[in-house]
A and B are shown apart, each in its own frame.
Chain A
């Protein structure tokens, strides 16, 4: 089963996504697929630390997979239940960290195909993705191209998903 959790920054979507995967996996093994490239950025380190604390007693095995997301499946040995967080970082990593900036269409296809493979080989996959689309479009062409890529990936994932939830102020609403 594929479940998508969509929401803005600090909307409480991670918490909701964790609750969903914990419920579906019913105490079996579960994996946390982290896409953020942490590096030595203090803010990122702090953010990752906060998320780790939040899920520390929930029994996740963490897989770091900032790009080529289909590879995460190789590290899932049994009970293939996973929470993938998050698509906005994955799209940014695929687009910007490969030496040169990847074309928008190529980025969309790469991410979409990778997630499709992952979903098809998982028992239950919950994916967190972001709403970055509601504060206008007054951005430079590179940022707009990134937004376009994320928007298209989101639409592809919405089509693929069995269930989609939008999270607003910590409240989830089923929209598919």
Chain B
């Protein structure tokens, strides 16, 4: 699994699609593939599936009362060539709103865990990747 992080609108998805030559049907925006989609697109478990805007998916799952930590962890176990793309959202003032604080904290921890598992971590700034792992 590869993890790509960076600020908003830094060209993370464009970079990943071009570099890894991924077709649009393998790109999932703010969502994980369903079981059926996963079976269809990734029958052998080696397809390059991109999950983009992971932070938005985390926000959605927290609101829905889901378990984003376990869900993403189980997804990347099944999809070892997956590429996870996420905004860096923790570099601001502590939000006033309690939900925003929880969201920020859980997103940060999920990223630390994904980065620990990832074979490669890249940070994209202005479209330029910096390999940090």
Are A and B subunits of one complex?
Answer: yes
Say yes or no for A136: interface residue by CB 8 A criterion: yes
The stretch that binds B, out of A55-63, A156-164, A166-174, is A166-174
Residues of A contacting B12 with CB < 8 Å? none
Chain B interface, number of residues (Cβ within 8 angstroms): 28
Q: Interface residues, chain A, CB within 8 Å of chain B?
A: 8-12, 43, 131-136, 139, 143, 147, 168-171, 173
Q: Tell me whether A131 and B115 are in contact in the complex, defined as CB-CB below 8 angstroms, given that A168-B123, A171-B121 are known contacts.
A: no
Of the residues B92, B106, B111, contact of A136 by C-beta under 8 Å: B92
Residues in B80-133 with C-beta less than 8 Å from chain A: 88-94, 98, 101, 104-109, 111-116, 121, 123, 132-133
Contacts of A169 in B (CB 8 A): 3, 5, 108, 111-112, 114-115, 121, 132
For residue A134, which residue of chain B has the nearest CB? B91
B7 at the interface (CB under 8 A from A): yes
Question: What are some 16 contacts across the A-B interface (CB < 8 A)?
Answer: A9-B91, A10-B90, A10-B105, A10-B107, A12-B108, A43-B98, A134-B88, A135-B92, A143-B93, A168-B88, A169-B111, A169-B112, A169-B115, A170-B112, A170-B116, A171-B132
- Inter-subunit contact B93/A171 (CB<8 Å): no
Contact between A135 and B132, CB atoms less than 8 A apart = no
Please measure, in the bound complex, the distance between the C-alpha atom of A131 and the C-alpha atom of B108, giving whole angstroms: 13
> Are B92 and A134 closer than 8 Å at their CB atoms?
yes
Residue picked from B93, B108, B132, most chain A C-beta under 10 Å: B93
Bound CA–CA A120/B104 (angstroms): 36
Question: Shortest 5 CB-CB distances between A and B: which pairs?
Answer: A10-B108, A135-B92, A8-B90, A134-B91, A170-B112
Q: How far is the CB of B29 from chain A (nearest CB, A)?
A: 21
